[in-house]
Amino acid sequence: MCGVGGIYLPNPMVFQDEHRAVLSRMGQLMAPRGPDAEGIVARDRVGLVHRRLSIIDLDPRSNQPMESADWLLSYNGEIYNFKSIRAELESRHEFQTSSDSEVLLLAIQEWGIDGALSRCAGMFAFLAYHKGTGRLYAARDQLGIKPLLMARLDGGAYCFASSVAAIAGATPDENWRPFKPALGSFFALGASFTRTSVLEGIERVEPAHYVTCHPDGRFTTTKYWEPTYQPNFTMDDMLQVVSEYQVADVPSALFLSGGVDSTFLAAATQDLDCFHLVSPERNYAEAVADRFGRRFVAVDPVLEDYHDDLREVIRFHGEPLMSCGIPAAVSRQVRASGYKMAISANGADELFHGYPRTPTPEYDPPYLPLHESPSYRWLSSQIAHIFRDGRNFTIEGLEEFVPSIESITNDILTKYHLPGFPPSASHRWMELMTYVLHDLNPTLDAASMFNSIEVRVPFLDHRIVEGVLSWDASKLVTPTLGRKAPLKEYLQQFLPASFFHRPKLGFSIHGESLASIVKLANQAMSRAKRSGFLTLERGANYGERDRDMITMEAICLTYQAWRDVMEESA
Q: Please check whether residue 329 lies inside any domain of the structure.
A: yes
Q: Is residue 179 a contact partner of residue 200, using CB atoms and an 8 Å limit? A: yes
| Position 225, amino acid | W
Q: Please check whether residue 487 lies inside any domain of the structure.
A: yes
Terminal Cα-to-Cα distance of the chain (whole angstroms): 30
Is the domain of 91 the same as that of 158?
yes
Phi then psi for residue 498, to 5 deg, are: -65, -20
Question: Which distant-in-sequence residues (6+ apart) come within 8 Å of 156 by Cβ?
Answer: 9, 10, 13, 217
Q: Please check whether residue 104 lies inside any domain of the structure.
A: yes
Which of 490, 505, 520 is the C-terminal boundary of a domain? 505
Select from 356, 362, 403, 404 the least CA-distant residue to 381.
356
Confidence at residue 510, expressed as pLDDT on a 0 to 100 scale? 59
| Position 306, amino acid | Y
Confidence at residue 1, expressed as pLDDT on a 0 to 100 scale? 67
From CA 444, how far away is CA 23, in angstroms rounded? 25
Is the domain of 47 the same as that of 83?
yes
Select from 3, 1, 46 the least CA-distant residue to 28.
3
Q: What is the largest CA-CA distance in the chain?
A: 71
b/e sequence 399-422, b meaning 16+ C-beta within 10 Å? eebbbebeebbeebeeebebeebb
Q: Please check whether residue 548 lies inside any domain of the structure.
A: no
Q: In terms of DSSP H, where are the helices of 129-179?
A: 164-170
H helix or E strand, kind and range, residue 75: strand 71-79
Is the domain of 207 the same as that of 281?
no
Phi then psi for residue 535, to 5 deg, are: -120, 125
From CA 119, how far away is CA 441, in angstroms rounded? 23
Q: Please check whether residue 531 lies inside any domain of the structure.
A: no
Is the domain of 144 the same as that of 248?
no
Residues β-bridged to residue 35: 52
Query: Could you tell me the residue range of the domain that residue 490 belongs to?
Result: 235-301+308-376+402-505
Task: Note if the bond before 422 is cis, omega within 30 degrees.
Answer: no
From CA 209, how far away is CA 196, in angstroms rounded? 15
Is the domain of 7 the same as that of 123?
yes
Q: Please check whether residue 63 lies inside any domain of the structure.
A: yes
CATH number at residue 173: 3.60.20.10
From CA 201, how far away is CA 205, in angstroms rounded? 12
Q: Please check whether residue 549 lies inside any domain of the structure.
A: no
Select from 287, 246, 298, 291 the least CA-distant residue to 270.
246
CATH number at residue 473: 3.40.50.620
> How many folded domains does the chain comprise?
2
Strand order, beta sheet including 454-456: 296-299, 273-277, 252-255, 341-343, 454-456
| Position 539, amino acid | G
From CA 288, how far away is CA 285, in angstroms rounded? 5
Q: Is residue 401 a contact partner of residue 180, using CB atoms and an 8 Å limit? A: yes
C-alpha atoms less than 13 angstroms from C-alpha of 360 in its C-beta half-sphere: 25
Is the domain of 79 the same as that of 108?
yes
Handedness of CA 430, 435, 437, 440 (dihedral sign): negative
From CA 160, how far away is CA 26, in angstroms rounded? 10
Confidence at residue 513, expressed as pLDDT on a 0 to 100 scale? 65
From CA 169, how far away is CA 187, in angstroms rounded? 25
Reduced to 3 states (helix: H, G, I; strand: E, B; else coil), residue 375 is coil
From CA 260, how far away is CA 499, in angstroms rounded? 9
Is the domain of 108 the same as that of 38?
yes
Residues β-bridged to residue 544: none
Confidence at residue 509, expressed as pLDDT on a 0 to 100 scale? 62
From CA 389, how far away is CA 488, in angstroms rounded? 35
Q: What is the pLDDT of residues 349-361, one digit of tens each?
A: 999 999 999 999 9
Tens place of pLDDT for every residue, the chain, 570 residues? 699 999 999 999 988 899 999 999 999 999 999 999 999 999 889 999 999 999 999 999 999 999 999 999 999 999 999 999 999 999 999 999 999 999 999 999 999 999 999 999 999 999 999 999 999 999 999 999 999 999 999 999 999 999 999 999 999 999 999 999 999 999 999 999 999 999 999 999 999 999 999 999 999 999 999 999 999 999 999 999 999 999 999 999 999 999 999 999 999 999 899 999 888 889 999 999 999 999 999 988 777 888 899 999 999 999 999 989 889 988 999 999 999 999 999 999 999 999 999 999 998 888 899 889 999 999 999 999 999 999 999 999 999 999 999 999 999 999 999 999 999 999 999 999 999 999 999 999 999 999 999 999 999 999 999 999 999 999 999 999 999 999 999 999 999 988 888 887 766 665 666 777 888 899 999 999 999 999 998 877 898 999 999 999 999 999 999 999 999 987
Confidence at residue 501, expressed as pLDDT on a 0 to 100 scale? 85
Is the domain of 314 the same as that of 257?
yes
Q: What is the pLDDT of residues 9-18, one digit of tens each?
A: 999 998 889 9
